[in-house]
C-alpha cells in the first residue's frame, strides 16, 4: 500500500513535470513554425528572424536539458562549489535576454569564498527559475538586485530582488503548489521545483512581495561539509547555532 502510494505520488510529479515540459516547449515551437511559414509564403526571412529562431531553439534546448537534470535519479552527486560562480554563470546565460528586455542585473557578491555542497545543475535550475520570474515581472524593464552574503556561520545567503509587479497576498501561501500561475503562458512549476531542490540541499527559500513594488526571494544554503565538521569539533561549537 505504502509502495503504491509512493509510486502514485512519484507518477503525479512526473506527470506534472511532463505537462510543464510540453507547455514550455510548445511556445518556442509555435514561434519557429510561424517564421518558417512566413518564409514559405513570402520568402522574406531576414537575419533578425533567423536570430530569433536561433534564440527559440536555444530556449528549447535549455528547457529540455534543465528538465533532464531533474529527471535524473535521486542519487545525486553533491560537490563543493563556490555559489558566487554558480550564480555568476546563470547571470551570464541570461544577460543578453535581460538586456533585450531593458533589464539590468545589479550584483553584490561577498568578497569571501561562499562554498556550499551542491548539485550544481540543479542549483542553476533554481537560479534560472527565479531570475526568469523576476524578469517576467518587469515587462517595462528595470533593475534586478542580486546579492550573495556569507553569514557568520558560513551559510550563503542569496537574495534576488526585483522591481516588478509583485505577488498578490492571497497567492503567496499557494506558491510551491504545482500549476499555480498568474501568467497566461506560465506553467506554475518553477517555484515548486526550486523549493524542492533547495530543500534537498538542506536550505530554505523565503519569498516576500508587495504588489506594484516588487518581490524578494532569499535562499539560505548551509556552508560546506568541511566547515560544518569543523564547527562540530568539541570546544569549537557556536552556542547559538548548536542544537
Tell me how far apart the alpha carbons of residues 203 and 186 are, in angstroms, rounded to a whole number. Answer: 26
Query: Does 166 interact with ligand ADP (rule: CB under 6 A)?
Result: yes
Check the CA dihedral 200-201-203-206 and report its sign.
negative
Binding residue count for Mg ion, defined by CB under 5 A:
2
81 and 120 Cβ atoms separated by less than 8 Å: yes
Tell me how far apart the alpha carbons of residues 143 and 134 are, in angstroms, rounded to a whole number. Answer: 10
Query: Does 88 interact with ligand ADP (rule: CB under 6 A)?
Result: no
**Binding-site member from 53, 98, 116, 134 for ligand ADP (CB under 6 A):** 134
Tell me how far apart the alpha carbons of residues 205 and 217 are, in angstroms, rounded to a whole number. Answer: 7
Helix (H, G, I), strand (E, B) or coil at 44: coil
Residue 165 binds: one of Mg ion, ligand ADP, none (C-beta under 5 to 8 A by kind): ligand ADP
Stretch that binds ligand ADP, among 47-55, 67-75, 114-122, 127-135 (CB under 6 A): 127-135
| 195 half-sphere exposure, CB direction, 13 A CA radius | 12
| Smallest separation, CB 10 to Mg ion (Å) | 23
Binding residue count for ligand ADP, defined by CB under 6 A:
21
85 contact partners, CB below 8 Å, separation of at least 6: none
What mask, x for binding ligand ADP by CB under 6 A, covers residues 167 to 206?
x-------x----xxxx--xxxxxx---------------
Binding site for ligand ADP (CB under 6 A): 129, 133-134, 137, 162, 164-167, 175, 180-183, 186-191, 215
Binding site for Mg ion (CB under 5 A): 133, 190
Amino acid at each position: 500500500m505504502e509502495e503504491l502510494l509512493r509510486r502514485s505520488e512519484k507518477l503525479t510529479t512526473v506527470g506534472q513535470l511532463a505537462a510543464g515540459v510540453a507547455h514550455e516547449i510548445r511556445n518556442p515551437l509555435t514561434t519557429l513554425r510561424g517564421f518558417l511559414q512566413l518564409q514559405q509564403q513570402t520568402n522574406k526571412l531576414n537575419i533578425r528572424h533567423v536570430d530569433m529562431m536561433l534564440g527559440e531553439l536555444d530556449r528549447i534546448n535549455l528547457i529540455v536539458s534543465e528538465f533532464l537534470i531533474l529527471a535524473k535519479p535521486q542519487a545525486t552527486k553533491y560537490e563543493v562549489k563556490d555559489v558566487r560562480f554558480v550564480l555568476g554563470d546563470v547571470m551570464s546565460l541570461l544577460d543578453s535576454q535581460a538586456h533585450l528586455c531593458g533589464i539590468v542585473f545589479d550584483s553584490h557578491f561577498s568578497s569571501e569564498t561562499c562554498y556550499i555542497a551542491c548539485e550544481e545543475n540543479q542549483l542553476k535550475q533554481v537560479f534560472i527559475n527565479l531570475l526568469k520570474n523576476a524578469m517576467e515581472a518587469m515587462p517595462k524593464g528595470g533593475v534586478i538586485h542580486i546579492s550573495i552574503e556569507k553569514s557568520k556561520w558560513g551559510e550563503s545567503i542569496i537574495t534576488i530582488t526585483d522591481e516588478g509587479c509583485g505577488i498578490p497576498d492571497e497567492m503567496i501561501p499557494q506558491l510551491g503548489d504545482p500549476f499555480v500561475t498568474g501568467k497566461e503562458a506560465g506553467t506554475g512549476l518553477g517555484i515548486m521545483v526550486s523549493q524542492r531542490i533547495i530543500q534537498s540541499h538542506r536550505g530554505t527559500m523565503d519569498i516576500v512581495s508587495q504588489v506594484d513594488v516588487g518581490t524578494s526571494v532569499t535562499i539560505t544554503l548551509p556552508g560546506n561539509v568541511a566547515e560544518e565538521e569543523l564547527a562540530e569539533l568539541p570546544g569549537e561549537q557556536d552556542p547559538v547555532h548548536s542544537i
